[in-house]
Amino acid sequence: MENQKQNLAGVWDFTFLPGNAAGTAVTGAKFDSRAAVPGCFDLMPGLYLRRGTGVYRRMVQAGGEMELTSDGLGLRAEIFWDKRKIAEIDAAFSKNVIRFDAGKCGEHELIIAVCNEFDDSFGSLFRRNYDFYAHGGIYRPLTLAPARKIRPDELKIIPLDLERGTVRISVRFSGKVLPGKAEIFFDQQTAGAVLPLENGAGSAEFTVPDAKVWSPETPFLHRARIAAGGEEFPVRFGLRKIEIRSGRLLLNGKPLKLIGCNRHDAHPDFGYAVPSEIRLRDLLMLKQSGMNCIRGCHYPQSEELLDLCDELGILVWEESLGWGNSAECLKDPDFQAKQLRETRKMALKSINHPCVILWGFLNECDSTSAEARPLIKALADLLHETDPSRPVTYGSNRLQRDICLDLVDVISFNTYPGWYTANEDQFINRAFVASHLQGLAEFASRNEYRDKPLLISEVGAEAIPGLTGGHRWTEEYQADLLETVVRFVLDSDRCSGTFLWQFCDSRTYSSSSSQVRAGGFNCKGMVDRHRTPKQSWHRIAQLLREYEL
Ligand code: ADA
Protein backbone atom coordinates (compact mmCIF):
# COMPACT_ATOMS: atom_id res chain seq x y z
CA MET A 1 0.00 0.00 0.00
CA GLU A 2 2.70 2.47 1.07
CA ASN A 3 4.47 2.04 -2.26
CA GLN A 4 1.26 2.69 -4.19
CA LYS A 5 0.97 6.09 -2.54
CA GLN A 6 1.69 9.00 -4.89
CA ASN A 7 3.14 12.16 -3.41
CA LEU A 8 1.51 14.98 -5.38
CA ALA A 9 4.19 17.54 -4.49
CA GLY A 10 5.62 19.37 -7.47
CA VAL A 11 4.84 22.16 -9.87
CA TRP A 12 1.17 22.31 -10.92
CA ASP A 13 -0.69 24.34 -13.53
CA PHE A 14 -2.10 27.42 -11.86
CA THR A 15 -4.26 30.46 -12.27
CA PHE A 16 -5.52 33.16 -9.93
CA LEU A 17 -9.12 34.34 -10.02
CA PRO A 18 -10.38 37.32 -8.04
CA GLY A 19 -13.06 36.63 -5.41
CA ASN A 20 -14.43 33.31 -4.34
CA ALA A 21 -14.38 31.67 -7.75
CA ALA A 22 -14.29 27.89 -7.34
CA GLY A 23 -17.22 27.50 -9.79
CA THR A 24 -15.39 29.30 -12.60
CA ALA A 25 -12.31 27.28 -11.74
CA VAL A 26 -13.70 24.19 -13.37
CA THR A 27 -15.57 25.70 -16.25
CA GLY A 28 -13.65 28.63 -17.56
CA ALA A 29 -10.20 28.77 -15.97
CA LYS A 30 -7.25 29.34 -18.30
CA PHE A 31 -4.20 27.94 -16.58
CA ASP A 32 -1.71 30.63 -17.49
CA SER A 33 0.85 30.09 -14.77
CA ARG A 34 2.57 27.49 -12.60
CA ALA A 35 2.67 27.09 -8.83
CA ALA A 36 4.44 24.86 -6.35
CA VAL A 37 2.56 22.36 -4.19
CA PRO A 38 2.91 22.66 -1.23
CA GLY A 39 3.00 26.46 -1.50
CA CYS A 40 1.17 29.67 -0.67
CA PHE A 41 -0.04 31.43 -3.80
CA ASP A 42 -0.25 34.81 -2.08
CA LEU A 43 3.55 34.98 -1.80
CA MET A 44 4.09 34.34 -5.52
CA PRO A 45 5.37 37.13 -7.79
CA GLY A 46 2.47 39.33 -8.85
CA LEU A 47 0.14 37.91 -6.20
CA TYR A 48 1.83 39.22 -3.07
CA LEU A 49 -0.75 39.31 -0.28
CA ARG A 50 -3.64 39.22 -2.78
CA ARG A 51 -6.98 37.71 -1.78
CA GLY A 52 -8.97 35.55 -4.17
CA THR A 53 -8.95 31.99 -5.48
CA GLY A 54 -5.79 30.10 -6.42
CA VAL A 55 -6.67 27.30 -8.83
CA TYR A 56 -4.21 24.41 -9.00
CA ARG A 57 -4.41 21.68 -11.66
CA ARG A 58 -2.46 18.58 -12.57
CA MET A 59 -2.99 15.26 -14.31
CA VAL A 60 -2.74 12.07 -12.26
CA GLN A 61 -2.69 8.34 -13.03
CA ALA A 62 -5.37 6.60 -11.00
CA GLY A 63 -8.47 4.42 -11.11
CA GLY A 64 -11.06 2.76 -8.88
CA GLU A 65 -11.67 3.75 -5.28
CA MET A 66 -8.98 6.21 -4.21
CA GLU A 67 -8.00 8.22 -1.13
CA LEU A 68 -6.71 11.75 -1.44
CA THR A 69 -5.07 12.94 1.79
CA SER A 70 -4.45 16.60 2.51
CA ASP A 71 -2.36 17.39 5.59
CA GLY A 72 -3.51 21.00 5.58
CA LEU A 73 -4.49 23.87 3.33
CA GLY A 74 -6.18 27.23 3.74
CA LEU A 75 -8.30 29.06 4.03
CA ARG A 76 -10.76 26.64 2.35
CA ALA A 77 -10.94 24.57 -0.82
CA GLU A 78 -13.11 22.84 -3.36
CA ILE A 79 -11.68 19.75 -5.03
CA PHE A 80 -12.66 18.50 -8.49
CA TRP A 81 -11.86 15.19 -10.20
CA ASP A 82 -12.46 15.31 -13.96
CA LYS A 83 -14.51 18.48 -13.28
CA ARG A 84 -16.77 16.69 -10.74
CA LYS A 85 -16.66 18.10 -7.24
CA ILE A 86 -15.45 15.42 -4.84
CA ALA A 87 -14.92 17.44 -1.66
CA GLU A 88 -14.99 20.76 0.13
CA ILE A 89 -12.55 21.56 2.91
CA ASP A 90 -13.76 24.36 5.16
CA ALA A 91 -11.10 24.37 7.89
CA ALA A 92 -7.53 25.55 7.43
CA PHE A 93 -4.64 23.41 8.79
CA SER A 94 -6.97 20.42 9.03
CA LYS A 95 -5.98 16.93 7.90
CA ASN A 96 -8.60 15.40 5.60
CA VAL A 97 -8.86 12.05 3.88
CA ILE A 98 -11.17 12.17 0.85
CA ARG A 99 -12.47 8.89 -0.56
CA PHE A 100 -13.85 8.91 -4.04
CA ASP A 101 -14.40 6.86 -7.18
CA ALA A 102 -11.68 7.80 -9.64
CA GLY A 103 -13.29 5.95 -12.56
CA LYS A 104 -11.33 3.89 -15.10
CA CYS A 105 -7.60 3.38 -14.66
CA GLY A 106 -5.79 6.05 -16.63
CA GLU A 107 -5.03 9.75 -16.66
CA HIS A 108 -7.40 12.08 -14.80
CA GLU A 109 -7.55 15.80 -14.06
CA LEU A 110 -7.34 16.98 -10.44
CA ILE A 111 -8.24 20.62 -9.69
CA ILE A 112 -7.98 22.20 -6.26
CA ALA A 113 -9.44 25.69 -5.95
CA VAL A 114 -8.19 27.34 -2.76
CA CYS A 115 -9.77 30.57 -1.60
CA ASN A 116 -8.23 33.00 0.88
CA GLU A 117 -11.10 35.51 1.01
CA PHE A 118 -12.36 35.97 4.57
CA ASP A 119 -15.72 34.50 5.40
CA ASP A 120 -17.23 36.53 8.21
CA SER A 121 -19.97 34.06 9.10
CA PHE A 122 -19.48 32.44 12.49
CA GLY A 123 -19.14 29.07 10.81
CA SER A 124 -15.69 30.13 9.61
CA LEU A 125 -12.83 29.15 11.89
CA PHE A 126 -10.03 31.34 10.45
CA ARG A 127 -11.32 34.79 11.26
CA ARG A 128 -10.31 38.24 10.09
CA ASN A 129 -9.26 39.48 13.54
CA TYR A 130 -6.62 36.78 14.16
CA ASP A 131 -3.12 38.10 14.81
CA PHE A 132 -1.42 35.84 12.24
CA TYR A 133 -1.61 36.09 8.49
CA ALA A 134 -4.40 34.26 6.68
CA HIS A 135 -2.45 32.81 3.73
CA GLY A 136 -4.02 31.09 0.75
CA GLY A 137 -2.47 27.88 -0.49
CA ILE A 138 -1.85 24.20 -0.17
CA TYR A 139 0.19 24.39 3.02
CA ARG A 140 1.23 20.77 3.47
CA PRO A 141 1.70 17.50 1.52
CA LEU A 142 -1.02 15.94 -0.61
CA THR A 143 -0.98 12.22 -1.35
CA LEU A 144 -3.12 9.89 -3.44
CA ALA A 145 -3.46 6.14 -2.88
CA PRO A 146 -5.88 3.31 -3.67
CA ALA A 147 -8.56 3.22 -0.96
CA ARG A 148 -8.22 0.48 1.66
CA LYS A 149 -10.91 -2.13 2.10
CA ILE A 150 -11.41 -0.82 5.64
CA ARG A 151 -10.61 2.57 7.19
CA PRO A 152 -9.26 3.14 10.67
CA ASP A 153 -11.55 5.92 11.97
CA GLU A 154 -9.76 5.57 15.31
CA LEU A 155 -6.45 3.93 16.06
CA LYS A 156 -5.03 4.73 19.48
CA ILE A 157 -2.06 3.36 21.38
CA ILE A 158 -2.13 4.73 24.92
CA PRO A 159 0.76 3.93 27.30
CA LEU A 160 -0.40 2.45 30.62
CA ASP A 161 2.45 1.15 32.78
CA LEU A 162 5.96 2.16 31.78
CA GLU A 163 7.75 -0.43 33.88
CA ARG A 164 5.72 -3.32 32.57
CA GLY A 165 5.61 -1.81 29.06
CA THR A 166 1.84 -2.07 28.75
CA VAL A 167 -0.34 -0.10 26.36
CA ARG A 168 -4.04 0.04 25.58
CA ILE A 169 -4.80 -0.31 21.86
CA SER A 170 -8.21 0.83 20.69
CA VAL A 171 -9.39 0.67 17.10
CA ARG A 172 -12.56 1.48 15.23
CA PHE A 173 -12.78 0.48 11.57
CA SER A 174 -15.41 1.32 9.00
CA GLY A 175 -15.96 -0.24 5.59
CA LYS A 176 -18.23 -2.64 3.73
CA VAL A 177 -17.02 -5.81 5.47
CA LEU A 178 -15.94 -5.25 9.04
CA PRO A 179 -13.23 -7.54 10.45
CA GLY A 180 -13.89 -9.67 13.56
CA LYS A 181 -10.35 -9.31 14.85
CA ALA A 182 -7.10 -7.41 14.40
CA GLU A 183 -3.58 -8.72 14.89
CA ILE A 184 -0.96 -6.61 16.59
CA PHE A 185 2.76 -6.96 15.83
CA PHE A 186 5.26 -4.86 17.81
CA ASP A 187 8.59 -3.86 16.28
CA GLN A 188 10.18 -6.93 14.64
CA GLN A 189 7.60 -9.43 15.92
CA THR A 190 6.41 -12.04 13.44
CA ALA A 191 3.72 -13.62 15.64
CA GLY A 192 0.87 -11.25 16.35
CA ALA A 193 -1.37 -10.86 19.41
CA VAL A 194 -5.10 -10.86 18.75
CA LEU A 195 -7.41 -7.92 19.40
CA PRO A 196 -11.03 -9.14 19.14
CA LEU A 197 -13.40 -6.70 17.38
CA GLU A 198 -17.13 -6.24 17.46
CA ASN A 199 -18.68 -4.24 14.64
CA GLY A 200 -15.16 -3.29 13.63
CA ALA A 201 -14.22 -1.86 17.04
CA GLY A 202 -12.26 -3.17 20.01
CA SER A 203 -9.89 -2.25 22.78
CA ALA A 204 -7.45 -4.31 24.86
CA GLU A 205 -4.24 -4.16 26.84
CA PHE A 206 -0.96 -5.42 25.35
CA THR A 207 2.61 -5.73 26.56
CA VAL A 208 5.31 -4.28 24.32
CA PRO A 209 8.29 -6.65 24.23
CA ASP A 210 11.64 -5.13 25.19
CA ALA A 211 9.84 -1.90 26.09
CA LYS A 212 11.89 1.30 26.28
CA VAL A 213 10.67 4.60 27.69
CA TRP A 214 10.44 7.74 25.49
CA SER A 215 11.75 10.96 27.02
CA PRO A 216 13.24 14.24 25.71
CA GLU A 217 16.72 12.88 26.55
CA THR A 218 16.11 9.42 25.03
CA PRO A 219 13.30 9.74 22.48
CA PHE A 220 12.94 6.01 21.86
CA LEU A 221 10.20 5.06 19.41
CA HIS A 222 8.42 1.72 19.07
CA ARG A 223 6.41 0.54 16.11
CA ALA A 224 3.26 -1.50 15.83
CA ARG A 225 1.62 -3.02 12.77
CA ILE A 226 -2.09 -3.55 13.03
CA ALA A 227 -3.39 -6.12 10.58
CA ALA A 228 -7.13 -6.40 9.96
CA GLY A 229 -9.48 -7.19 7.08
CA GLY A 230 -6.58 -7.90 4.69
CA GLU A 231 -4.98 -4.50 5.33
CA GLU A 232 -2.02 -3.39 7.45
CA PHE A 233 -1.76 -0.14 9.36
CA PRO A 234 1.69 0.81 10.68
CA VAL A 235 1.87 3.12 13.72
CA ARG A 236 4.84 4.63 15.49
CA PHE A 237 4.45 5.40 19.19
CA GLY A 238 6.41 6.11 22.35
CA LEU A 239 6.08 4.90 25.93
CA ARG A 240 5.81 7.93 28.15
CA LYS A 241 3.41 9.31 30.69
CA ILE A 242 2.29 12.83 31.42
CA GLU A 243 0.53 13.25 34.76
CA ILE A 244 -0.58 15.87 37.24
CA ARG A 245 0.20 15.53 40.94
CA SER A 246 -0.28 18.23 43.58
CA GLY A 247 -0.37 21.03 41.07
CA ARG A 248 2.74 19.86 39.19
CA LEU A 249 3.23 18.31 35.77
CA LEU A 250 5.13 15.03 35.85
CA LEU A 251 6.75 13.34 32.89
CA ASN A 252 7.50 9.66 33.40
CA GLY A 253 6.99 10.15 37.13
CA LYS A 254 9.43 13.08 37.48
CA PRO A 255 8.54 16.78 37.92
CA LEU A 256 8.64 18.53 34.58
CA LYS A 257 9.71 22.11 33.97
CA LEU A 258 8.70 23.26 30.51
CA ILE A 259 10.91 25.99 29.06
CA GLY A 260 10.29 26.67 25.42
CA CYS A 261 8.51 28.93 23.02
CA ASN A 262 5.42 29.46 20.97
CA ARG A 263 6.10 28.73 17.33
CA HIS A 264 4.08 29.68 14.28
CA ASP A 265 4.74 27.07 11.62
CA ALA A 266 5.37 29.88 9.17
CA HIS A 267 8.03 31.62 7.13
CA PRO A 268 8.03 35.06 5.46
CA ASP A 269 8.83 33.60 2.02
CA PHE A 270 6.75 30.42 2.15
CA GLY A 271 3.89 31.22 4.51
CA TYR A 272 2.55 28.05 6.12
CA ALA A 273 4.18 25.85 3.47
CA VAL A 274 7.38 25.75 5.49
CA PRO A 275 10.07 23.71 3.69
CA SER A 276 11.19 20.60 5.61
CA GLU A 277 14.71 21.86 5.95
CA ILE A 278 13.62 25.06 7.66
CA ARG A 279 11.29 23.19 10.00
CA LEU A 280 14.10 20.82 10.91
CA ARG A 281 16.60 23.65 11.47
CA ASP A 282 14.13 25.48 13.72
CA LEU A 283 13.71 22.42 15.89
CA LEU A 284 17.44 21.66 15.99
CA MET A 285 18.11 25.25 17.06
CA LEU A 286 15.54 24.94 19.81
CA LYS A 287 16.96 21.66 21.04
CA GLN A 288 20.50 23.03 21.04
CA SER A 289 19.42 26.10 23.01
CA GLY A 290 18.38 23.83 25.89
CA MET A 291 14.67 24.55 25.53
CA ASN A 292 12.49 21.47 25.74
CA CYS A 293 9.12 22.38 24.25
CA ILE A 294 7.04 24.31 21.77
CA ARG A 295 3.46 25.44 21.77
CA GLY A 296 2.16 24.90 18.24
CA CYS A 297 0.25 28.15 18.12
CA HIS A 298 -2.57 28.50 17.13
CA TYR A 299 -3.62 25.53 14.95
CA PRO A 300 -3.11 21.78 14.40
CA GLN A 301 0.47 20.91 13.50
CA SER A 302 1.78 19.10 10.43
CA GLU A 303 2.62 15.40 10.51
CA GLU A 304 6.19 16.31 9.67
CA LEU A 305 6.58 18.62 12.64
CA LEU A 306 5.17 16.06 15.06
CA ASP A 307 7.34 13.30 13.59
CA LEU A 308 10.43 15.48 14.06
CA CYS A 309 9.49 16.36 17.64
CA ASP A 310 8.97 12.65 18.38
CA GLU A 311 12.43 11.93 16.99
CA LEU A 312 14.26 14.86 18.60
CA GLY A 313 12.50 14.66 21.97
CA ILE A 314 10.73 18.04 21.89
CA LEU A 315 7.52 18.29 23.93
CA VAL A 316 4.52 19.85 22.17
CA TRP A 317 1.34 21.63 23.20
CA GLU A 318 -0.97 21.16 20.21
CA GLU A 319 -4.11 23.27 19.87
CA SER A 320 -7.01 23.66 17.47
CA LEU A 321 -7.56 26.81 15.43
CA GLY A 322 -8.93 29.77 17.36
CA TRP A 323 -7.84 33.22 18.47
CA GLY A 324 -9.48 35.88 20.58
CA ASN A 325 -12.98 34.58 19.88
CA SER A 326 -15.77 36.78 21.21
CA ALA A 327 -18.70 35.67 23.36
CA GLU A 328 -20.95 36.11 20.32
CA CYS A 329 -18.80 33.73 18.33
CA LEU A 330 -18.45 31.20 21.16
CA LYS A 331 -22.19 30.80 21.52
CA ASP A 332 -22.84 30.41 17.80
CA PRO A 333 -23.98 26.83 17.01
CA ASP A 334 -22.04 26.68 13.71
CA PHE A 335 -18.84 27.87 15.31
CA GLN A 336 -19.30 25.42 18.18
CA ALA A 337 -19.97 22.47 15.87
CA LYS A 338 -16.87 23.19 13.78
CA GLN A 339 -14.66 23.72 16.83
CA LEU A 340 -15.76 20.37 18.21
CA ARG A 341 -15.35 18.60 14.89
CA GLU A 342 -11.89 20.01 14.21
CA THR A 343 -10.63 19.57 17.79
CA ARG A 344 -11.61 15.91 17.75
CA LYS A 345 -9.95 15.45 14.36
CA MET A 346 -6.75 16.98 15.73
CA ALA A 347 -6.71 14.67 18.75
CA LEU A 348 -7.31 11.56 16.65
CA LYS A 349 -4.64 12.46 14.12
CA SER A 350 -1.95 13.22 16.72
CA ILE A 351 -2.80 10.85 19.56
CA ASN A 352 0.04 8.42 18.88
CA HIS A 353 2.76 11.09 18.89
CA PRO A 354 4.59 10.86 22.22
CA CYS A 355 5.84 14.43 21.80
CA VAL A 356 2.32 15.81 22.28
CA ILE A 357 1.79 16.23 26.02
CA LEU A 358 -0.98 18.85 26.18
CA TRP A 359 -4.13 19.57 24.21
CA GLY A 360 -5.31 23.14 23.81
CA PHE A 361 -8.02 25.16 22.09
CA LEU A 362 -9.57 28.64 21.78
CA ASN A 363 -6.51 30.78 22.47
CA GLU A 364 -7.50 33.94 24.37
CA CYS A 365 -11.24 33.57 23.92
CA ASP A 366 -13.58 35.69 26.00
CA SER A 367 -13.34 33.43 29.04
CA THR A 368 -14.75 36.14 31.31
CA SER A 369 -18.19 35.66 29.76
CA ALA A 370 -20.73 33.03 30.78
CA GLU A 371 -21.20 32.28 27.06
CA ALA A 372 -17.72 30.76 26.95
CA ARG A 373 -18.41 28.04 29.49
CA PRO A 374 -20.54 25.61 27.43
CA LEU A 375 -18.04 25.45 24.55
CA ILE A 376 -14.95 25.28 26.78
CA LYS A 377 -16.59 22.50 28.79
CA ALA A 378 -17.66 20.62 25.67
CA LEU A 379 -14.15 20.85 24.18
CA ALA A 380 -12.48 19.72 27.42
CA ASP A 381 -14.94 16.81 27.80
CA LEU A 382 -14.47 15.80 24.19
CA LEU A 383 -10.68 15.75 24.53
CA HIS A 384 -10.82 13.79 27.79
CA GLU A 385 -13.14 11.27 26.21
CA THR A 386 -11.07 10.96 23.01
CA ASP A 387 -7.80 10.79 24.93
CA PRO A 388 -7.85 10.17 28.68
CA SER A 389 -4.03 10.29 28.80
CA ARG A 390 -3.25 13.99 28.28
CA PRO A 391 -4.17 17.14 30.21
CA VAL A 392 -6.26 19.83 28.57
CA THR A 393 -5.76 23.60 28.72
CA TYR A 394 -6.26 26.89 26.86
CA GLY A 395 -4.20 30.08 26.77
CA SER A 396 -6.10 32.65 28.83
CA ASN A 397 -5.30 36.35 28.71
CA ARG A 398 -8.12 37.10 31.13
CA LEU A 399 -5.93 36.04 34.07
CA GLN A 400 -7.61 36.59 37.46
CA ARG A 401 -10.88 37.57 35.74
CA ASP A 402 -11.23 34.24 33.93
CA ILE A 403 -14.33 32.29 34.94
CA CYS A 404 -13.60 29.03 33.08
CA LEU A 405 -10.36 27.84 34.68
CA ASP A 406 -12.20 25.16 36.67
CA LEU A 407 -13.09 23.41 33.38
CA VAL A 408 -9.53 22.45 32.38
CA ASP A 409 -6.62 20.54 33.94
CA VAL A 410 -3.86 23.11 33.55
CA ILE A 411 -4.03 26.88 34.07
CA SER A 412 -2.22 28.66 31.26
CA PHE A 413 -1.82 32.42 31.30
CA ASN A 414 -0.84 34.58 28.34
CA THR A 415 0.46 37.77 29.88
CA TYR A 416 2.63 40.66 28.77
CA PRO A 417 4.01 42.51 31.82
CA GLY A 418 6.49 45.10 30.60
CA TRP A 419 4.92 45.26 27.18
CA TYR A 420 1.21 45.96 27.00
CA THR A 421 0.87 47.15 30.58
CA ALA A 422 0.25 50.85 30.81
CA ASN A 423 2.53 53.44 32.43
CA GLU A 424 5.66 51.47 31.77
CA ASP A 425 9.03 53.12 31.77
CA GLN A 426 11.08 53.21 28.58
CA PHE A 427 13.49 50.81 30.25
CA ILE A 428 12.87 47.39 31.71
CA ASN A 429 11.46 47.16 35.20
CA ARG A 430 12.45 43.63 36.20
CA ALA A 431 10.88 43.89 39.65
CA PHE A 432 7.53 44.76 38.11
CA VAL A 433 7.70 41.79 35.71
CA ALA A 434 8.61 39.36 38.51
CA SER A 435 5.97 40.68 40.89
CA HIS A 436 3.28 40.41 38.19
CA LEU A 437 4.20 36.75 37.67
CA GLN A 438 4.29 36.22 41.43
CA GLY A 439 0.75 37.64 41.62
CA LEU A 440 -0.41 35.05 39.07
CA ALA A 441 1.31 32.24 40.98
CA GLU A 442 -0.44 33.36 44.17
CA PHE A 443 -3.79 33.51 42.41
CA ALA A 444 -3.25 29.98 41.05
CA SER A 445 -2.46 28.79 44.58
CA ARG A 446 -5.98 29.47 45.84
CA ASN A 447 -7.76 26.38 47.10
CA GLU A 448 -9.88 25.96 43.99
CA TYR A 449 -6.85 26.01 41.65
CA ARG A 450 -3.92 24.72 43.68
CA ASP A 451 -4.11 21.19 42.23
CA LYS A 452 -3.83 22.45 38.67
CA PRO A 453 -0.36 23.06 37.22
CA LEU A 454 0.34 26.66 36.19
CA LEU A 455 1.99 27.64 32.90
CA ILE A 456 2.92 31.05 31.56
CA SER A 457 1.83 30.19 28.05
CA GLU A 458 2.78 33.51 26.44
CA VAL A 459 5.00 36.37 27.53
CA GLY A 460 7.32 38.61 25.55
CA ALA A 461 8.26 41.94 24.01
CA GLU A 462 8.83 43.22 20.50
CA ALA A 463 12.45 43.62 19.40
CA ILE A 464 13.42 45.08 16.05
CA PRO A 465 16.40 43.02 14.85
CA GLY A 466 19.59 45.02 15.27
CA LEU A 467 17.99 47.80 17.33
CA THR A 468 19.94 48.34 20.52
CA GLY A 469 20.07 50.82 23.40
CA GLY A 470 18.08 49.04 26.08
CA HIS A 471 14.75 50.82 25.65
CA ARG A 472 11.49 49.28 24.46
CA TRP A 473 11.66 47.66 20.98
CA THR A 474 15.39 46.89 21.38
CA GLU A 475 17.04 43.51 21.55
CA GLU A 476 18.35 44.15 25.10
CA TYR A 477 14.93 45.06 26.44
CA GLN A 478 13.47 41.83 25.09
CA ALA A 479 16.41 39.77 26.39
CA ASP A 480 16.14 41.35 29.87
CA LEU A 481 12.41 40.74 30.00
CA LEU A 482 12.58 37.12 28.87
CA GLU A 483 15.51 36.40 31.17
CA THR A 484 13.50 37.75 34.11
CA VAL A 485 10.58 35.49 33.18
CA VAL A 486 12.69 32.35 32.73
CA ARG A 487 14.52 32.92 36.03
CA PHE A 488 11.19 33.37 37.77
CA VAL A 489 9.76 30.19 36.26
CA LEU A 490 12.86 28.12 36.98
CA ASP A 491 12.88 29.23 40.61
CA SER A 492 9.13 28.99 41.19
CA ASP A 493 7.69 25.89 42.83
CA ARG A 494 4.22 26.83 41.67
CA CYS A 495 4.95 27.26 38.00
CA SER A 496 5.43 24.20 35.76
CA GLY A 497 6.84 26.16 32.87
CA THR A 498 6.62 28.80 30.19
CA PHE A 499 6.21 29.06 26.46
CA LEU A 500 7.90 32.35 25.56
CA TRP A 501 6.28 34.45 22.87
CA GLN A 502 7.70 33.62 20.38
CA PHE A 503 10.25 31.57 18.41
CA CYS A 504 10.58 33.78 15.31
CA ASP A 505 9.08 37.02 14.04
CA SER A 506 5.96 36.12 12.11
CA ARG A 507 3.75 37.70 9.51
CA THR A 508 0.51 39.31 10.59
CA TYR A 509 -1.11 42.63 9.60
CA SER A 510 0.45 46.07 9.78
CA SER A 511 -2.13 47.37 12.19
CA SER A 512 -5.27 46.38 13.89
CA SER A 513 -7.40 48.14 16.43
CA SER A 514 -5.32 47.18 19.45
CA GLN A 515 -1.89 46.21 18.21
CA VAL A 516 1.16 47.81 16.70
CA ARG A 517 2.86 45.43 14.32
CA ALA A 518 5.95 46.98 12.76
CA GLY A 519 5.96 46.32 9.02
CA GLY A 520 3.19 43.77 9.32
CA PHE A 521 5.24 41.40 11.46
CA ASN A 522 4.86 40.37 15.07
CA CYS A 523 8.44 41.09 16.11
CA LYS A 524 8.42 39.34 19.46
CA GLY A 525 10.54 36.54 17.97
CA MET A 526 13.68 35.50 19.79
CA VAL A 527 15.04 34.96 16.30
CA ASP A 528 14.13 37.18 13.38
CA ARG A 529 11.85 36.17 10.54
CA HIS A 530 14.73 34.45 8.71
CA ARG A 531 15.88 32.77 11.95
CA THR A 532 18.89 34.91 12.84
CA PRO A 533 19.09 34.91 16.64
CA LYS A 534 18.45 38.10 18.56
CA GLN A 535 20.18 38.74 21.88
CA SER A 536 17.36 37.05 23.78
CA TRP A 537 18.04 33.74 22.08
CA HIS A 538 21.66 33.69 23.27
CA ARG A 539 20.68 34.99 26.70
CA ILE A 540 18.13 32.24 27.33
CA ALA A 541 20.42 29.52 25.95
CA GLN A 542 23.17 30.74 28.31
CA LEU A 543 20.77 30.74 31.25
CA LEU A 544 19.61 27.20 30.48
CA ARG A 545 23.21 26.00 30.40
CA GLU A 546 23.50 27.19 34.01
CA TYR A 547 20.36 25.37 35.14
CA GLU A 548 19.59 21.74 34.57
CA LEU A 549 16.02 21.30 33.46
C1 ADA B 1 -1.56 37.21 22.15
C2 ADA B 1 -1.76 36.07 21.18
C3 ADA B 1 -0.66 35.92 20.19
C4 ADA B 1 -0.07 37.28 19.85
C5 ADA B 1 0.45 37.94 21.09
C6 ADA B 1 0.96 39.35 20.91
O7 ADA B 1 -1.58 36.95 23.47
O8 ADA B 1 -2.13 34.85 21.73
O9 ADA B 1 -1.15 35.26 19.06
O10 ADA B 1 -1.03 38.05 19.24
O11 ADA B 1 -0.56 38.04 22.04
O12 ADA B 1 2.02 39.48 20.32
O13 ADA B 1 0.32 40.28 21.34
Angstrom distance (rounded) from CA 489 to CA 483:
10
Element (H, E) at 145: strand 142-146
Which atom of ligand 1 has the smallest separation from the CA of 502? 12
Instruction: Report the sign of the C-alpha dihedral through residues 186, 223, 313, 437, in that order.
Output: negative
Helix (H) or strand (E) holding 383: helix 372-386
Give residue 53 CA to ligand 1 midpoint distance, Å: 28
Strands, E, within 350-438: which ranges?
Answer: 356-360, 392-393, 395-396, 411-414
Q: Is the CB of 522 under 6 A from ligand 1?
A: yes
Distance between CA atoms of 89 and 66, rounded to whole angstroms?
Answer: 17
Whether residue 250 contacts residue 265, with contact meaning beta carbons closer than 8 Å, is answered with no
Distance CA 335, CA 333 (A): 6
Q: How far is the CA of 131 from the centre of ligand 1 (A)?
A: 7
Distance from residue 330's CA to the centre of ligand 1 (Å): 19
Q: Is the CB of 131 under 6 A from ligand 1?
A: yes
The predicted structure's pLDDT at residue 328: 96
pLDDT at 28: 77
Atom of ligand 1 nearest to the CA of 297: 9
Any idea what DSSP says for residue 271? B
In this structure, what DSSP letter does residue 44 have?
S
CA 129 – ligand 1 centroid, Å: 12
User: Which of 266, 288, 347, 239 has the alpha carbon at shortest distance from 74?
Assistant: 266
Evaluated on CA atoms 110, 306, 308, 364, the torsion sign reads positive
CB distance 475 to ligand 1 below 6 Å: no
Distance CA 125, CA 339 (A): 8
Omega prior to 38 cis, within 30 of 0: yes
CA distance 190 to 100: 34
Q: What is the pLDDT of residue 6?
A: 97
- What is the 302 CA–ligand 1 centroid distance (Å)? 21
In the three-class reduction of DSSP (H, G, I as helix; E, B as strand; rest coil), residue 58 is classed as strand
**Ligand 1 center to residue 146 CA distance, Å?**
42
Task: Give me the average pLDDT of each 10-residue run along the chain (549 residues).
Answer: 84 96 80 97 98 97 98 97 96 98 98 97 94 98 97 97 98 96 97 97 98 98 98 97 98 98 98 98 98 98 98 98 97 98 98 98 98 98 98 98 98 96 80 97 98 98 96 96 98 98 96 74 97 98 89
User: What pTM, to 2 d.p., does this model score?
Assistant: 0.97
Write down the pLDDT at residue 11. 98
Q: How high is the pLDDT of residue 10?
A: 98
Q: First CA to last CA across the chain, in angstroms?
A: 43
**Quick one: which of 421, 418, 388 has its CA closest to 482?**
418
Give the count of beta carbons closer than 10 Å to the beta carbon of residue 388: 10
Query: By alpha-carbon position, which residue is closest to atom 7 of ligand 1?
Result: 414
* Phi/psi of residue 399, nearest 5 degrees: 50, -130
Q: What is the pLDDT of residue 425?
A: 75
Q: Give dist(CA 140, CA 120) in Å, integer.
A: 25
Q: CB count, 10 Å around CB of 177?
A: 11
**Is 501 close to ligand 1, i.e. is its CB under 6 Å away?**
yes
Phi, psi of 318 (to 5 degrees): -110, 135
The Cα-based distances of 484 to 478, 511, 548 in angstroms read 10, 29, 17
CA of 164 to the centre of ligand 1 (A): 43
Name the amino acid, one letter, at 387. D
Q: Which residues pair with 70 in a beta bridge?
A: 96, 142
414 Cβ below 6 A of ligand 1: yes
Which pLDDT score is estimated for 26?
Answer: 80
Report the distance separating Cα 508 and Cα 518, nearest Å. 10
